[in-house]
A and B are shown apart, each in its own frame.
Chain A
């Protein structure tokens, strides 16, 4: 038994590994950090969650903010305007795009020792956050969304400013990645592919080829993909259980482990680039890495579409009176589906439960029912553990919350 330490994942994880003849036999993931956010939320006034929840994670805090506003809306039957929904999408997509870029370069490229244009990447990230801040006030940890809508009331001028940024970002993306053409990979995509090829790892890290997306928005629709069939994914089948020796909880859907995140979303959404990759490499680390960066480019287009179809005459926020009750919602965050469930009694939180994307991807299973990460790692060369892990874009702060 070897205990490996996995760092640089916004926190750390322990991997209890068994290696034999250079191959991984068994693996168990433990998360050693804990803050107790769900305990903190209990018995607070419902709106406090808007301040506490984004601070679960400095990387995807914005998704937590929007999820909190949405779950409180669902409890009280409040439906915000299209305008508010679209603005929330714009800011959430911005968060996802910059996350993917940072992961692609600061994690994957650094891990593989590939050179890249740090200044350009930094510039793009800064610009995306600027776009987000035009609507959200600041990033990370913005507070502009609340039950009923958003607090910002953009004018045409702000839309113009934001569109201008989105436009220039698309140009920058083109300079980094070229066209996403599987037959003719260019620039950094080619650099990456060649490196993976040289390392002979293109086919490593395959999971179950089962995908799940709980959220629904302008980019992807709720679905699960199993044996090539697309069916609705229903929150009532999600089960969360404590795991020994770890602060993270195991999560399954009807007893099965599913992959969530960009690969799941792009598979469910379709599109030739990822489909072709998948045909050749299945759900290996190659498809997983490329799907994430491809998604970033797609989301930029969605941001542009939303900006051009915003109806500024609609209300930013509608009247919202909070009621007691229970509700569950899901939203797509950078690493996959994020589920918030709340029960409110006498205007106070009786229970708040959060299932984060990394829980889906990094649960521990049993010998006869391996989890996704175990499936991806068992049998793989021990030397590539780190790389396979990182293709899931792990975030440990969120996972244990």
Chain B
């Protein structure tokens, strides 16, 4: 079964996010989750950690923790009644072993991960999940580290979640990257670890779609995990870097349900990638009103107008940045006045990597044209006929006495 075929299996319907699946569905899901958590509780964790104690030590109240749990429940698109289950799942995270490997990467996702946000979720991450192996974060190195990886695989055969950061070079003789003293290639390394994993989480755009190393002319023949591994469930969490909230979300979902979350045609969890940046953008009102930044540093920029004409790829990019934001939600790229570069879309490094609006680019709309077409008619009309749309806006601003002669 090749990838194209797989993709065709998840077609138009897959992009639809069903946020309300009905009482019956949630009731049975609730029961299944309950049973799963009870089952997990029986497992003796590798390290015995009492989350209540950890939180108390850190001065985090139960109330703060539950607040976090309810926010996460909402992020996972579950009804509020699941909040206690999510909280419980968080406490049971140390039952699920995680192995994290870095391939052709820049460590950006690890960096994002270790400062995962939310009120003190880093504690939950660092102390509660059972990160059995992470070559950058852990203490041993060299041969010792290899031994530890081997042990972790042996001990948790078939049970661990394998997090992969970085692309896999499969081009020209495969001499591009090797790992460990044995000098095995990244491809061999990944295939070996994937064979014994319960599921694989590809983190960041490199591991999902090849990312920047795969940019034309793709010197090393870099590809994503789903191009190499075909015998395991794969969850893609693209974006450069991937949002830590989504990584935590996937682990939590797995703990809670024992299953991987619902995915779209590109194997991305729908709870995070069901909507476009554009759908929930804080500057959306300016788009609808036709108020655009026309030039860096102009009046529009000072007034936080829409960045579409400056090349924002928000309308083509599926991700939840506009809701979750970054670095403890303090800001996100559009908040800092720069358009979205579409870093979670396949091929962004070649298709979207420039500071120009889409009108000049001759790029097709994102597959399925967005999620809720009806609310989006105005935007879509403008985008599909982008050249016309921009021309109209440009003319309007010229008539309005704004800058002219700038549009090329």
Q: Which residue of B lies closest to A135 (CB)?
A: B336
Q: Which residue of A lies closest to B146 (CB)?
A: A5
Please tell me if A116 contacts chain B, counting CB pairs below 8 Å.
no
Please tell me if A57 contacts chain B, counting CB pairs below 8 Å.
yes
Q: Which residue of A lies closest to B142 (CB)?
A: A5
Complexed CA–CA distance, A138 and B136 (Å): 22
Q: Are B336 and A316 in contact, CB atoms less than 8 angstroms apart?
A: no
Q: Which residues from chain A contact B336 at a C-beta distance below 8 Å?
A: 133, 135-138, 142, 144, 151-152
Please tell me if A37 contacts chain B, counting CB pairs below 8 Å.
yes
8 Å CB contacts to B: which residues of A1-33?
Answer: 3-8, 10-12, 32-33
Q: Are A143 and B331 in contact, CB atoms less than 8 angstroms apart?
A: no
Binds B, one of A47-55, A226-234, A300-308, A372-380: A47-55
A164 to chain B, nearest CB (A): 12
Complexed CA–CA distance, A253 and B137 (Å): 34
8 Å CB contacts to B: which residues of A120-168?
Answer: 122, 125-126, 129-130, 132-144, 146, 148-153
Q: Are A3 and B115 in contact, CB atoms less than 8 angstroms apart?
A: no
Q: Are A32 and B177 in contact, CB atoms less than 8 angstroms apart?
A: yes
Complexed CA–CA distance, A32 and B181 (Å): 11
Complexed CA–CA distance, A39 and B336 (Å): 30
Complexed CA–CA distance, A344 and B204 (Å): 30
Binds B, one of A173-181, A281-289, A317-325, A326-334: A317-325
Please tell me if B264 contacts chain A, counting CB pairs below 8 Å.
no
- Asked, given contacts A7-B145, A126-B122, whether A56 binds B106 with beta carbons under 8 Å apart, the answer is yes
Please tell me if A218 contacts chain B, counting CB pairs below 8 Å.
no
B307 to chain A, nearest CB (A): 8
- Asked, given contacts A8-B141, A51-B341, whether A35 binds B219 with beta carbons under 8 Å apart, the answer is yes
Please tell me if A236 contacts chain B, counting CB pairs below 8 Å.
no
Please tell me if A36 contacts chain B, counting CB pairs below 8 Å.
yes
Q: Which residues from chain A contact B122 at a C-beta distance below 8 Å?
A: 122, 126
Q: Which residues from chain A contact B181 at a C-beta distance below 8 Å?
A: 3, 5
Please tell me if B108 contacts chain A, counting CB pairs below 8 Å.
yes
Pick from A5, A6, A132, A137 the residue with the most CB of B within 10 Å. A137
- Asked, given contacts A7-B142, A55-B240, whether A132 binds B217 with beta carbons under 8 Å apart, the answer is no
Q: Which residues from chain A contact B295 at a C-beta distance below 8 Å?
A: 319
Q: Are A152 and B326 in contact, CB atoms less than 8 angstroms apart?
A: no
Interface residues on A, range: 35 or more
Complexed CA–CA distance, A130 and B141 (Å): 30
Q: Which residues from chain A contact B407 at a C-beta distance below 8 Å?
A: none
Complexed CA–CA distance, A135 and B337 (Å): 9
Please tell me if B353 contacts chain A, counting CB pairs below 8 Å.
yes
Pick from A40, A110, A146, A153 the residue with the most CB of B within 10 Å. A40
- Asked, given contacts A40-B212, A317-B301, whether A142 binds B108 with beta carbons under 8 Å apart, the answer is no
Q: Which residues from chain A contact B332 at a C-beta distance below 8 Å?
A: 137-138
Q: Are B331 and A35 in contact, CB atoms less than 8 angstroms apart?
A: no
8 Å CB contacts to A: which residues of B152-185?
Answer: 167, 169, 176-181, 183
Q: Are A106 and B215 in contact, CB atoms less than 8 angstroms apart?
A: no
Q: Which residue of B lies closest to A123 (CB)?
A: B122
Complexed CA–CA distance, A153 and B300 (Å): 11
How many chain B residues touch A (CB < 8 A): the figure is: 74
- Asked, given contacts A315-B297, A386-B141, whether A130 binds B217 with beta carbons under 8 Å apart, the answer is no
Q: Are A125 and B115 in contact, CB atoms less than 8 angstroms apart?
A: yes
Q: Are B355 and A144 in contact, CB atoms less than 8 angstroms apart?
A: no
Interface of B (DSSP majority class): loop
8 Å CB contacts to A: which residues of B229-259?
Answer: 240-241
Please tell me if B375 contacts chain A, counting CB pairs below 8 Å.
no
Q: Are A4 and B102 in contact, CB atoms less than 8 angstroms apart?
A: no
Q: Are B297 and A149 in contact, CB atoms less than 8 angstroms apart?
A: yes
Complexed CA–CA distance, A4 and B240 (Å): 32
Q: Are B327 and A129 in contact, CB atoms less than 8 angstroms apart?
A: yes
Q: Are B355 and A146 in contact, CB atoms less than 8 angstroms apart?
A: yes
Q: Which residues from chain B contact A125 at a C-beta distance below 8 Å?
A: 115
Q: Which residues from chain B contact A141 at a C-beta distance below 8 Å?
A: 108, 240-241, 343
Q: Which residues from chain B contact A4 at a C-beta distance below 8 Å?
A: 142
Q: Which residues from chain A contact B330 at a C-beta distance below 8 Å?
A: 130, 133-134
Q: Which residue of B lies closest to A49 (CB)?
A: B353
Complexed CA–CA distance, A3 and B181 (Å): 8
Q: Which residue of B lies closest to A317 (CB)?
A: B297
Q: Which residues from chain A contact B114 at a C-beta distance below 8 Å?
A: 122
Q: Which residue of B lies closest to A4 (CB)?
A: B142
Please tell me if A248 contacts chain B, counting CB pairs below 8 Å.
no
Q: Which residue of B lies closest to A38 (CB)?
A: B219
8 Å CB contacts to A: which residues of B93-145?
Answer: 102, 104-112, 114-115, 117, 122-123, 126, 135-139, 141-143, 145
Pick from B122, B328, B336 the residue with the most CB of A within 10 Å. B336
Please tell me if B220 contacts chain A, counting CB pairs below 8 Å.
yes
Supply 14 A–B pairs (Cβ within 8 Å), ascending by A: A7-B142, A33-B104, A51-B352, A51-B353, A58-B111, A58-B241, A59-B107, A118-B126, A136-B331, A137-B334, A137-B336, A141-B241, A142-B333, A317-B296
Given contact pairs A8-B138, A52-B212, A58-B241, a sample of 15 additional A-B residue pairs in the complex whose CB atoms are under 8 Å apart: A5-B141, A7-B142, A12-B180, A35-B220, A40-B215, A40-B218, A47-B354, A56-B106, A58-B107, A61-B106, A126-B327, A130-B330, A144-B337, A146-B296, A153-B337
